[in-house]
Structure 1
Amino acid sequence: MAKKWGIAAVVLYAAYAIGMYFYIFHGASGNIPATLKGTVADPQTFMTERELYLSEEYSKIRNFLFFVVTPFEWLVYFLILFTGLSKAFEKWADISKKWRFVKNGAYLFLLYLFTTVLFYPIDVYRYQLSKNYGISTQEFSSFMRDYIIDFWVSFGTTLIVVLVLYWLIQKSPKRWWLHAWLLTIPFAIFMMYIQPVLIDPLYNDFYPLQDKELESKILALADEANIPAEHVFEVNMSEKTNALNAYVTGIGDHSRIVLWDTTLNSLTDKEILFIMAHEMGHYVQKHIYIGIGAYILTILAGLWLISKIMPWLISKFGTALKIEQMSDIRSLPLLLVLVSFLLFVSNPISNLVSRYQETRADEYAMELTGDAQSAVSTFQNLAKAGLSEVNPSFLVKVFRYTHPPMLERINTVAKFAVKNETIPETENKTKNSAEHTEAE
């Protein structure tokens, strides 16, 4: 029975991967709408032919990897169960008859190490892909350093979660999901609080913005937005990437506005001020706290669904999966599959909310700066630096894009500029297309 299920899972995955290959490389279309051709939103107006080619090629490969690697993880976990490897891990981890948490911790380490080694070639390929296309500048030794740090940080946080979770499942088989959710709230807030000061510095060096003149401009902008800010931080990402970025992280007195040094080196002060105004828009509109609330509610729904689905799967297919009861640590691969699957299928909703928030932040930045020219050039430079797909296909946008595609962001700026009559004369073609879009 287990062998048949394993073969069926492999065949199903292969069929899915082939289907996604044809969709991504031959079926998906991200053509520029006729109304936007020749405008500043059209990548042909700001990218070279080589950049256009590399952008299309690089995006397709990355999109294909996204859609096939996550289901491949599910396949691996199912095969670990079907083949009895999970049961073997449990047996090897049984080094303490008295302390169950020692056994569970040892099992997790074996599983984590096994899957890390298994997926290592894929991670190296992704690194090399980014390097080949000129996005990554990171040396392999630095990549491996980050890889090892990430292993132990991820394992440490997962260990805490798994030990507590299986202890709750054992103690309260019916209500474990509710107790786990209640514990998740302070844990999630604690992790968000310490990440900027304890976790992020493990990977990069953070320091106050060295350009004090620019910092004064940013702080003046923050003051105009009624945001209490004393420092802006920069991070030395040029050692690892050519991509551009800025973000807000943390909560409370540990919250930070962070600029990558690649952004500082590649954009003008006006463009950087627009990016900062965008990040301030997230703060003013309380997107961080809305995100925390949505995350907590999502965890509640996910834990409740797992509490219903997992016992049912074990009762129906426990023999093939070699799982006797949910409280057995050998059931962890099944739990991880369910968590990953629920996160994957919820991507369209979470991404939709995120894209809405990003659009609101763009609009806020336009209201605060009134600088349409810098907004457009910022988005163009971001697209060029990251070889971004300006107008992705439907499934790619729905499942992958937490930000609106650059085509939409530039057009949003154009519509805002038309509405407020601040659009530069050099962007008349964009103005016409924006008016056309509004008429539709």
Structure 2
Amino acid sequence: MPLARPRHGGRHRHRGGAVTPRGWAVLTLAGLAVALVVAGALLIPWSRPPAPRADQLAALRALPVDQVARGRAFHGALRPAGWSALVVGLVVALVLGLTPLGGRLVELAGRPLGGHWAARAVLGGLAVMLLADLLTLPFAAWRQTVLVRYGLSTQGWSGWAVDLLKSYAVSAVIGGLALLGFYTVVRLAPRWWWAFGAAGAAGLVVLLSFVLPVLVEPVFNRFTPMEQGPLRSELITLAARDGVPVRDVLVADASRRTKAVNAYVSGLGPTRRVVVYDTLLREATPAEVTSVVAHELGHAKDRDVWVGTLTGALGAAAAVVALYLIGSWAPLLRLAGVDSVAEPRAFPLLIALVTVVGLVAAPVQAMVSRRVEARADAHALALTGDPATFEAMQRRLAGVNLADPDPPRWEYLWSASHPSTVERMAAARAYARESGR
């Protein structure tokens, strides 16, 4: 009687004692997980809890009743579209990934080029992602109607469609190159593709941190240097006093699509810059703009982009190894109708797994983001020494951006990337009490 063939993903050692590729993958995943936990423990400001609830409620009572009501009504109107898109996106990912339908779509997309492996890998992968986008497109349009109805969007449907097509094009270029690279590695190193794939995923995260500000962001916005004047001089002086090298302070033409105000810091090393929306310059006082930029300087000072890049690279590498291990589970392969997770037909299965993991990880990512943003708020307060202006800016941000100043707890824990308006106002008041200002 012939010996039973060992299942892929069984033992981690050959009979001679050598560790198998799967065994090395387990060890690698464990090492990456430890590195990710250590990086998170050392680099994320876990010891910065939100302000006491009593202080938050006091801040809420200080806001105009009509502003609070309008913000809550706006988010109540957005909520059905957002959650519907999430549910439909999840269902599409599971249907394509856990049935043979996804593999058939990949094969169908590759036929125009003769079914070559590269055609199936690139065109098939892009077809899967495009189908998911198209099926959730009605909810994106629904969201746009809400933005228009509440006066936050300044875009017509033609401008909205152009931006949407731009996002599809950028995603297709980046996704197509990533797919081609990934499946090329799979063919060249069929037993060790997970190792090269993990290294490539980590490298891609780092590369995108450098190139997105200079290659991708200009596709969606026009950036111009802030004009010479007292405000620009104040911001440059503030950055110098903070010891943060900033290449430039740029103004984005956000007003062509929104009335919302914002600012951010992006890029690494020579590509780092502070960007402010032109809407912020129109809506806020110079002191309030300075407070916002001080917050962004806090991100630069604490190397938050570097930290995000490092943790993102470790997470991406760990995800590739985990997909190799989980995707080798025979029941999953049978559901998807594929023999190996490494073949192009299995790409929908990978997408399904990534989607589920992303949903599970969302609350953790949101919590980490809130702690980092709270640290940047504290930096802004310490750098400017002006809690009154900081609080006034939070009021303005909430009013112009139609924020819910105190969102439902479940929604806050699930998806809030920033402290709530009342948390930030309470933090400013706490700083004022402690500093005597």
1:173 Cα shift?
4.5
Q: Report how many residues are paired.
A: 385
Q: Distance in 2 between matches of 1:137 and 1:415?
A: 37
Give yes or no for the alignment of 1:53 onto 2:69. yes
Give the alignment partner of residue 404 of structure 2, picking from 384, 389, 399.
Answer: 389
| TM-score, structure 2 as length reference | 0.82
Deviation sequence 1:361-397 (CA, Å, 0-9, x none)? 1111111111111000000111111111212223211
Q: Larger relative contact order (C-alpha < 8 A, sep ≥ 6)? A: 2
Query: Which residue identity does 1:178 align to in structure 2?
Result: A
- 1:182–1:321: structure 2 CA closer, same or farther, 3 Å change rule? closer
Instruction: Give the 5 Å matches for 1:429-440.
Output: none
Give yes or no for the alignment of 1:412 onto 2:427. yes
Query: Which residue identity does 1:260 align to in structure 2?
Result: Y
Secondary structure of the equivalent of 2:328? helix
Q: Distance in 1 between matches of 2:112 and 2:105?
A: 11
- 1:128–1:98: structure 2 CA closer, same or farther, 3 Å change rule? closer
1:122 Cα shift?
1.4
1:206, 1:236 within 8 Å by CA — same for their partners in 2? yes
Give the alignment partner of residue 161 of structure 1, picking from 178, 181, 198.
Answer: 178
Q: Distance in 2 between matches of 1:190 and 1:230?
A: 19
Q: Distance in 1 between matches of 2:291 and 2:389?
A: 7
| TM-score, structure 1 as length reference | 0.82
Give yes or no for the alignment of 1:380 onto 2:395. yes
Q: Distance in 1 between matches of 2:247 and 2:229?
A: 12
Match of 1:244 in 2: 261
Give yes or no for the alignment of 1:69 onto 2:69. no
Match of 1:135 in 2: 152
Query: Which residue identity does 1:276 align to in structure 2?
Result: V
Secondary structure of the equivalent of 2:251? strand
Query: Which residue identity does 1:270 align to in structure 2?
Result: A
Deviation sequence 1:21-40 (CA, Å, 0-9, x none)? xxxxxxxxxxx956554x4x
Match of 1:303 in 2: 320
Match of 2:29 in 1: none
Query: Which residue identity does 1:331 align to in structure 2?
Result: A
1:242, 1:386 within 8 Å by CA — same for their partners in 2? yes
2:202, 2:312 within 8 Å by CA — same for their partners in 1? no
Secondary structure of the equivalent of 1:159? helix
1:191 Cα shift?
1.6
Q: Distance in 2 between matches of 1:116 and 1:360?
A: 35
Match of 2:96 in 1: 80
- 1:63–1:177: structure 2 CA closer, same or farther, 3 Å change rule? farther
Deviation sequence 1:46-78 (CA, Å, 0-9, x none)? 3352x3333112223434544442342121123
1:119 Cα shift?
2.0
Structure 2: which 5+ runs fail to align? 1-51
Q: Distance in 2 between matches of 1:291 and 1:83?
A: 35
Query: Which residue identity does 1:401 align to in structure 2?
Result: A
- 1:58–1:185: structure 2 CA closer, same or farther, 3 Å change rule? same
1:411 Cα shift?
0.6
- 1:82–1:351: structure 2 CA closer, same or farther, 3 Å change rule? closer
1:320 Cα shift?
3.7
1:85 Cα shift?
3.4
1:274 Cα shift?
0.7
Give yes or no for the alignment of 1:190 onto 2:201. no
Match of 1:354 in 2: 369
Deviation sequence 1:215-262 (CA, Å, 0-9, x none)? 001011111111223531001111111111000011111111000011
Q: Distance in 1 between matches of 2:368 and 2:136?
A: 31
Alpha-carbon RMSD across the aligned residues, in angstroms, is 2.2
Between the aligned residues of both structures, percent identity stands at 24
Instruction: Give the 5 Å matches for 1:78-227.
Output: 78-81=94-97, 84-92=100-108, 93-96=110-113, 99-210=116-227, 212-227=229-244
Secondary structure of the equivalent of 1:311? coil
Query: Which residue identity does 2:362 align to in structure 1?
Result: N
Q: Distance in 2 between matches of 1:361 and 1:34?
A: 23
1:91 Cα shift?
3.2
Structure 1: which 5+ runs fail to align? 1-31, 423-440
1:112, 1:155 within 8 Å by CA — same for their partners in 2? no
Give the alignment partner of residue 325 of structure 1, picking from 337, 340, 350.
Answer: 340
Secondary structure of the equivalent of 1:376? helix
- 1:211–1:241: structure 2 CA closer, same or farther, 3 Å change rule? farther
Give yes or no for the alignment of 1:363 onto 2:363. no
User: Which 10-residue stretch deviates more, 116-125 or 137-146?
Assistant: 116-125
Q: Distance in 2 between matches of 1:65 and 1:135?
A: 16
Q: Distance in 2 between matches of 1:228 and 1:181?
A: 32
2:254, 2:277 within 8 Å by CA — same for their partners in 1? yes
Secondary structure of the equivalent of 1:327? coil
- 1:98–1:388: structure 2 CA closer, same or farther, 3 Å change rule? closer
1:177, 1:307 within 8 Å by CA — same for their partners in 2? yes
Secondary structure of the equivalent of 1:259? strand
1:219, 1:230 within 8 Å by CA — same for their partners in 2? no
Q: Distance in 2 between matches of 1:88 and 1:341?
A: 22
1:117 Cα shift?
2.5
1:243, 1:262 within 8 Å by CA — same for their partners in 2? yes
Q: Distance in 2 between matches of 1:169 and 1:226?
A: 46
Match of 2:302 in 1: 285
Deviation sequence 1:262-316 (CA, Å, 0-9, x none)? 110011011111111111111111111111111111112222221222221xx11
Q: Distance in 1 between matches of 2:122 and 2:376?
A: 43
